[in-house]
Amino acid sequence: MSLKAGIVGLPNVGKSTLFNCLSSAKAQAANFPFCTIDAQMGQVSVPDERLAKLAELVHPGRIVPAVCDIVDIAGLVKGASKGEGLGNQFLANIRECDAIIHVLRCFDDTNIVHVDGSVDPVRDKEIIDMELQLKDLETIESRMQKVEKQARVGGDKQAKIELSVLEAYKAALLQGKSARTVSFETEDEVAAAKNLFLLTTKPVLYVCNVDDQSAKDGNEYTRRVAEAIKDEGAQMLIISAQTEADIAELETYEEKQMFLEDMGLTESGCNRLIKAIYSLLNLQTFITAGEMEVKAWTFRRGWKAPQCAGVIHTDFEKGFIRAEVIKYDDYIKYGSEAAVRDAGKMGVEGKDYEVQDGDIMHFRFNV
CA-based nearest residue to 195, from 150, 159, 245: 159
What is the number of other CB atoms lying within 10 angstroms of the CB of residue 19? 26
CA-based nearest residue to 128, from 260, 228, 30, 213: 228
In single-letter form, the type of residue at position 134 comes to L
pLDDT value for 33: 39
Collect all residues with Cβ–Cβ distance below 8 Å to 72 and sequence separation of at least 6: 7, 15, 16, 19, 27, 36, 39, 40, 41, 42
- Distance, in Å, from the CA atom of 133 to the CA atom of 177, rounded to the nearest integer, reads 8
pLDDT value for 28: 42
What is the number of other CB atoms lying within 10 angstroms of the CB of residue 256? 16
Low-confidence stretches of the chain (pLDDT < 70) are 1-2, 23-39, 74-90, 113, 115-116, 154
Buried b (16+ CB within 10 A) or exposed e, 112-123: eebbeeebbbee
Q: Mind listing the pLDDT tens digit for each residue in 139-160?
A: 999 999 888 888 777 677 888 8
Half-sphere exposure of 50 (CA within 13 A, CB side): 23
Q: Mind listing the pLDDT tens digit for each residue in 44-95?
A: 888 899 999 999 999 999 999 998 888 888 666 555 445 544 445 667 788 8
pTM value is 0.81
Return mean pLDDT, the chain: 86
Collect all residues with Cβ–Cβ distance below 8 Å to 13 and sequence separation of at least 6: 75, 103, 104, 105, 124, 209
Residue 263 has phi, psi (to 5 degrees) of: -85, -5
